[in-house]
Amino acid sequence: MMDKIDKDVIRQNYEDMFLCSANCYKDRTSPIEDLHSCTERCNIKLEENKDFFQRELDSVERSIDRCERDCTELMQNLSNADSNTQSLQNCLSKCVDTHIDQFPSLIKRLKQGQI
């Protein structure tokens, strides 16, 4: 999944930044300060996208952590240790599957978050 995010989102962000920066150099008459300002604006867009991406990943991580805590708490209420271990594994597996199923919408949000 991270490979898809890398290829579809992250690389596109870097391509956009480099193309934007390259366009800054087309105007041969502007002062160097304008050139620097232009390239900084291109970099700011990349940084904003990276921050957005990180917030989305943090959100997924918090959701998985919360699910893990819920599973652990649920299993603490069970009395049979053998079934408790299997039940915990089942609960965690369902949790991970749920989050894996949400990755397509995560990728969509990341693509939409591109500035």
Q: What is the DSSP string of 71-105?
A: HHHHHHT---HHHHHHHHHHHHHHHHHHHHHTHHH
User: What's the whole-model pTM score?
Assistant: 0.67
pLDDT of residue 111 exceeding 50: yes
CB 38 within 8 A of CB 17: no
pLDDT, average across residues 62-91: 81
Render pLDDT for 14-53 as a digit per residue (tens, 0 to 9).
Answer: 999 999 999 999 999 999 999 999 999 999 988 988 888 8
pLDDT, average across residues 72-100: 80
Tokens representing residue 93 in the block: 């597996």
- Quickly count helices (H) and strands (E) in the chain: 5, 0
